[in-house]
Copies of this chain bind each other. A is one copy, B any other.
């Protein structure tokens, strides 16, 4: 691949442009917003405006509902030999291409699983796709040349290609992205009219569980519309499971001992299935590696985290994820660092030697005990002595 075009230089489009430019591909940048194009040019992402002759592949980084129209327009002007998109649903664009005036042979659907809360070209980064999954959804009409050009694009961006049918892709993202978003929003909506004293009792659990409910309603409305049937299917199954759980809880609330026992069995079963499902998620998006959690007690002063990370740095260990649980604005708290499982014990020893209060490293999932509120008669064995 020698030449490419990017139509729409938001975060994803601009990041593709940067990644390809670094690898020596000549990238032509198209966007209605000329300021955005100039920004990406300044970042070294390519050349402003359309090419003189067809490029090898064009990446349509436009909203799902625009893919069919933009594809037909760009095919009409002869922008590229092959085309792909980056929309987060894949059935709708495929259908639009099949139903419209576009040529489906030179189009393959694509969905790079990368991004985040950033947006716009200034947040772009040539490494955004490194090691990430990039789904490609060829239709029956997609030519082999087009699929191979898209695979070359994915490889040049450092991503890992996964070929799926468009419908399977949409079912998968309904399950792992869109349905969780709706459920988080439904839970957060329950808090809207909660008594003030109830929200004062909220802890880290409900904050994590509803974090994605802070997303933009308009953007998420578009996403859910484009994948509505698949999301409704997942939520319908969830609703049946929920109804059974409510019945089990009602059984637990009655006096009759055998009904209580039956209710408890069902509740424990659900919680166990939750553990099992949770353990199927990779530690990091797009990663199959398992990490270990290393909990370290720190004081809540500006210097503590810096000192801790300097100590971890000295040990040559990379921190993959981190969470901080501490009392509001007061000294002392627990930092949990996720590190490679095979480095955790050695790091713990070094930190203890440096007078850090370190608890026993443990696997990330499952069985993490998250009840913040429970007193115990007997101490557990989960803790190790500090130095």
Contacts and interface: CB of A to CB of B under 8 A. Distances in A.
Report the interface size class on chain A. 35 or more
Contacts of A220: 271, 371
A375 B13 contact: yes
A377 B368 CA distance: 41
A374 B88 contact: yes
Given A130-B330, A242-B238, A268-B217, A180 B210 contact: yes
B189 A241 contact: yes
A327 B246 contact: no
A162 B200 contact: yes
Contact of A200 (B66, B264, B286, B373): B286
A381 to B, nearest CB: 7
Contacts of A10: 375-380
A272 interface: yes
Contacts of A324: 319-322
B117 A370 contact: yes
A121 B160 CA distance: 46
A332 B127 contact: yes
A11 B197 CA distance: 25
A24 interface: no
A152 interface: no
5 contacts: A113-B201, A114-B327, A209-B212, A310-B310, A322-B323
Contact of A271 (B215, B228, B329): B215
Copies in the complex: 2
Contact of A85 (B172, B276, B375): B375
Nearest to A260: B225
A50 to B, nearest CB: 16
A305 B118 CA distance: 19
Nearest to A85: B375
Interface string A325-340: 1111111101010000
A69 to B, nearest CB: 11
Interface stretch (A74-82, A248-256, A348-356): A248-256
Contacts of A225: 252, 260, 263-264, 267
A119 interface: yes
A332 to B, nearest CB: 4
A387 interface: no
| 5 closest Cβ pairs, A-B complex | A185-B274, A10-B376, A130-B330, A217-B271, A191-B277
Interface string A233-249: 01111110111011001
B306 A273 contact: no
A57 to B, nearest CB: 15
Contacts of A316: 302
B369 A117 contact: yes
B224 A188 contact: no
Contacts of A319: 302, 305, 324
